[in-house]
Amino acid sequence: MNKLNNKGFTPLVVMVIVVAIAVVGYFVLHKSRVAITPTPSGYFMVLPTPSTSSRQAPTLKASKLPSPTPNETANLRVYQYRESNLEFSFKYPTDWYVNADSKGNLTLYKIRSDLATYIYLNIEDNPKNLALDQWIKSKEIANLGTTEVLNINGSSAIRASTGGTIGTKHVFVAMGDKVIHFFTEQRSTSINVFGNITNSFKTGK
């Protein structure tokens, strides 16, 4: 008789324990449940550290993800010229081409289906080491308008424009007994690239 009672008592104890665990688990899960509201694209959720003295659900805070910093030099190449005592470099777009003649003069160009755009660089002599403005006057460039004195990365330079049907943009850079002469037609497709190239000009390595 005692053996029968012991066998019936054991399943009853197990059942009570299982029910108790289920009830406790239900209340724990119910109290810790937090409703998360979808956030706009580009945001992430920041959960504050929960307080042990408060039973309220934590407040969710949306913070803006930082914008990636663009790589400004990703689409540029560096052209370097080195000949005897003359060294310089500049940056130009990767979708442009460069041709050099035997004297080091350059033609930078971009060809599209409807238009070819050109920027030129000539290495010109200044055997008397004239000041840049005097050298420009000696060249008697036709229709040369008002000149603007510049300092491009430590080099003395002058910017000017010539008139005409289209007009030409010029930048002259002094380099001892040489003058680097950039010029291009004043087309909207080339003028920004022309400015970026001349502004990136540097002497030496």
Beta bridge partners of 77: 92
Under DSSP, the state recorded for 50 is P
- Tell me: the pLDDT tens digits for 104-154? 999 999 988 778 899 999 999 999 999 999 999 999 887 888 899 999 999
Domains, in order of start, for the chain? 2-64 (no CATH), 76-203 (3.40.1000.10)
Model confidence pLDDT, tens digit, residues 2-52: 544 555 556 666 676 767 776 666 665 555 444 444 444 444 444 444 454
CA distances from 146 to 83, 97, 170, 204 (A): 33, 31, 11, 29
pTM over 0.85: no
93: pLDDT strictly greater than 80: yes
Do 64 and 46 form a contact (C-beta atoms < 8 A)? Answer: no
The tokens describing 131, both together, are 């000041």
Secondary structure letter of residue 98 according to DSSP: E
**pLDDT given for residue 90 in this prediction:** 97
In angstroms, the CA 115 to CA 121 distance is: 20
Cα distances (angstroms) measured from residue 59 to each of 46, 48, 49, 65, 75: 9, 7, 10, 19, 45
Q: For a pLDDT cut of 90, what percent of the chain falls above it?
A: 46
